[in-house]
Structure 1
């Protein structure tokens, strides 16, 4: 089974400690997430509350404020995890004292921010370290085109798979794995990097394993983790760090 257990052992041990410590502090973190696996992952790494939201179901300011109330922290950090949610998170922060936003634009950025979270540190130190963590993550998204379009030099036909590298379309192709590998090759990947593949609800497990094997052959020393994200719309999310 592909699940959170496939995170690196170092990350698992660290996340477990964070989750235990977060239950006793006055600083809470709220993450916006979409997908059963990602929801569970954010809880595992210490989020007090996970708010449902994503590409087509953005939470409102009221939803976020209700989550803050439920979290019960003296201070609360919000991880929007989608560029379309950042504005609502910032409006919530303006509406109530003690709310802070780490402007994560993707789910992988949010995970990285949580792994940098330390509930025993001050709000200011956490905001600094979590913001630095999201800057170190390269995000790739693989989805299916719902209409024909042209983006830069890339022509996309309806129904093709497309890969987005840091939000920009870099390839259209016939398989999700093909466009994923192409985007990874353009991400500056090299030996020593850690690649995490989050499998969406429509992802192919055997296809993901094949990508992992080919990456490890091409880049000796690379680490590839597979996690069942369960996210809709995106066959794969990937992070490179």
Structure 2
């Protein structure tokens, strides 16, 4: 039975790390004295220890201990034994390459699908889809596969940004990039705006947060989904 929070971001403008989610995380990880953190995405190139400390300081607010997966000699066993798991944001290419390097992708997928409470933010949310091909990140390292956890049967684009009216920026918008993906792939893509997340409970997938999400389907016009929408049938 899946039990996940799949969030667009860890931090909202003007807030502290995970602050906007903390009340929900207290419920989500209820009964967990400790959780396992996967710091492989390394935002801004910070070390695993630095990243884990940042997360530990945040979870200390709800009296939950955090240990980084890099601290253990047997990462497979620690995933299997974890009471809760959090994969943080950063670079999705690096995160995916590390999960494959240590042969953890399939095990992590199976563990989460069996019901271990999971939190993903940004890159840690990207990997909850069928593939990482709709990430926003630079390909700083080459993973052996783009296939990811498949916790939800579609792809995600965290940090989704709408085109800015009147902007003179000549680069591609997020919508343009997703259309490029759909020129070769039929997988639905959900654009998650900052402050939005998916709550996955068993067979139910619901959009949470104050903002709408933008759903992209191949050869169709994008659709705006209201907060509270049920995405359980999306595939």
- Provide the TM-score with structure 2 as the length reference: 0.34
Q: Which has the higher strand share?
A: 1
Q: Which has the higher helix share?
A: 1
- Provide the TM-score with structure 1 as the length reference: 0.33
Greater RCO (Cα-Cα under 8 Å, separation 6 or more)? 2
